[in-house]
Amino acid sequence: MGARTIAARLHGTPAPGVPRWAVRTGYAITLAVLPSCLWRIGGFILGLPLLDHGPTPPEQDPASFDGGWGYILALSVVSEALAFLCFGLVARWGEVWPRWIPGLGGRPVPVLAAVLPAGLGSAVLMVFPYAMVMFSLGLTIRGDRNLGLVTHGWQTVTFWAGYLPLAAWGPLLAVLTVHYYRRRRAG
């Protein structure tokens, strides 16, 4: 079984008329989210040495937050599920409701039912690069000193390797959203 067959089984068949660049962009979104999910799971759940737990007081230790491993796992699963939904902007199931959905199965998906949440999600995700720059300066989004996550040396490299691809999610989703809107309105 080839890579295309596996991808088609996981994501569904691309809709007719969707250019190859758009399909690749859909795949890129699901892959861009994966490294940050793996970094969170590795650092917080599996206890890999991705964080510096040294001189940080216990109440500020990122591994001691109240949400625990369930929060990290849920955040990672929900992030990847939302990234997977972005593929609906290029897949057949993003144009026609799947048959297994009661009351909607087989009906066309209204264009705005896909474009509005995708556009809003893209706008929200555009804040992420700003947040990452602030974090790299040791600040919160509001500009306060950040006393939470601490990384040094190779830990910082693994952090950025995990989270930098995530910054592409918003712009890639914006491109797919505009393409979906234009394609569905033209057809």
Task: List the one residue out of 112, 86, 88, 107 whose CA is nearest residue 96.
Answer: 107
What does the alpha-carbon distance between residue 44 and residue 159 come to, in Å, rounded to a whole number? 12
pLDDT tens, N- to C-terminus, the chain (187 residues):
666 665 556 667 899 999 999 999 999 999 999 999 999 899 888 888 887 655 544 554 554 555 578 888 999 999 999 999 999 999 999 999 888 889 988 899 999 999 999 999 999 998 877 777 777 667 777 777 766 666 778 888 888 898 889 999 999 999 999 999 999 998 7
| Residue 137: per-residue pLDDT | 67
3-state secondary structure of 14: strand
Token pair for 21: 């660049």
pTM: 0.81
Picking from 34, 33, 12, 18, the residue whose alpha carbon sits closest to that of residue 175 is 18
103-116 b/e (C-beta count within 10 Å ≥ 16 → b): eeeeeebeeeebbe
User: What per-residue confidence (pLDDT) applies to 8?
Assistant: 58
145 phi and psi angles, rounded to 5 deg: -65, 135
Q: What is the pLDDT of residue 70?
A: 87
